[in-house]
Structure 1
């Protein structure tokens, strides 16, 4: 029964992701519902979640997404990490093959009004505050404070979102989508 349910889930995900090419609003409605159905905790309504964002299937309920969040293409949410297996082996611990592997499983929380740039990797145990901007290809882990602008690998806080907004409001160098 689980295999049949898994097959239907994969087909459903594939169909829902195709809606992005037809109607963004319809896509977001159905994709948000799909993510909730598989266990991702979503508060409010996301602004956009790219169809090629990767959500770690080890335990979807470990991923919490706040209201009005944008998740760009190829963002990776990793809630698990098996590196401890190799670390324990390095000190002589015997880890049996084919079962008994040890791993970390930690939450990922994204606050409200966040923008996650393309190809960002969000590692286990990460908590991103409200109003945070994370630049393309950044690797983030740990606690990121509210109103931060973060870039790099390892990530670095390079500014505050309110200062960024005021600068561009003064320059009036942005476009408004119609």
Structure 2
């Protein structure tokens, strides 16, 4: 097996010339993305689609960083805020309607713990998966191999080292489940602050249409 095949099989591999050639293509796209006029939303959207390939309504606020782009699979209405970093050595699968606050980092890459093994230049990538309707708070870090369930919120500053289930609020370092999200949460927009009637009526109409 060559190193690209080893990498894509989530096996130990070495970043050789062929691997760097793939990264070079991504970096040319990122150069355009991270230097485009930040008020040109249409052009940003086009570059994001080129970077990720198949996407529907995906948008992000530059700067954004990744290794390949083609290893990132996003669902409908994906949004990432400023300074997002996805080290996509392995596949990163993100569901529909996912939002990422500033400075979110998703790592699929890693290196052996023992220095003798690490110094051989072998590294690895283990995929990360994120369900639908997930919100990742600012400065969240997700490490290789993690799965985050659908309809879950990860609090700001969290370091997610283990799987997180559906329908929970989780936070901390290491990230742990704090509580379940219930139907009662629907009426609040921040802590104990409830939606005003005008906003609530608008949302009810949106829910009916969907």
TM-score interval for Structure 1 and Structure 2 normalised by the shorter chain: 0.7 to 0.9
CA gap of 1:134–1:32, structure 2 versus 1, over 3 A, is: farther
Query: Among residues 73, 78, 89, which one is paired with 1:42 in the alignment?
Result: 73
Q: 2:52 touches 2:74 (CA, 8 Å); kept in 1?
A: no
TM-score, normalised to structure 1, is 0.74
CA gap of 1:33–1:121, structure 2 versus 1, over 3 A, is: same
Q: CA deviation at 1:109?
A: 0.4
Q: CA deviation at 1:116?
A: 0.8
CA gap of 1:13–1:95, structure 2 versus 1, over 3 A, is: closer
Query: Among residues 183, 194, 197, which one is paired with 1:171 in the alignment?
Result: 194
Gaps in structure 1 of 5+ consecutive residues: 87-93
TM-score, normalised to structure 2, is 0.64
Query: Residue by residue, what CA displacement relative to the aligned partner does 1:112-142 show, whole Å, maximum 9, x if unpaired?
Result: 1111111110011100010111111100022
Gaps in structure 2 of 5+ consecutive residues: 1-16, 54-67, 200-210
Query: Among residues 11, 15, 27, which one is paired with 2:44 in the alignment?
Result: 27
Q: 1:49 touches 1:72 (CA, 8 Å); kept in 2?
A: yes
Q: In the alignment, what sits opposite 2:113? A: 84
Larger helix share, 1 or 2 = 1
Query: Among residues 157, 168, 176, which one is paired with 2:177 in the alignment?
Result: 157
Output the aligned Cα RMSD.
Answer: 3.2
Q: Write out aligned runs for 1:74-153 (5 A).
A: 74-86=103-115, 94-95=116-117, 97=119, 99=120, 101=122, 103-153=123-173
Query: Residue by residue, what CA displacement relative to the aligned partner does 1:37-94 show, whole Å, maximum 9, x if unpaired?
Result: 732342432331235211114x2x42111111112221111112225224xxxxxxx5
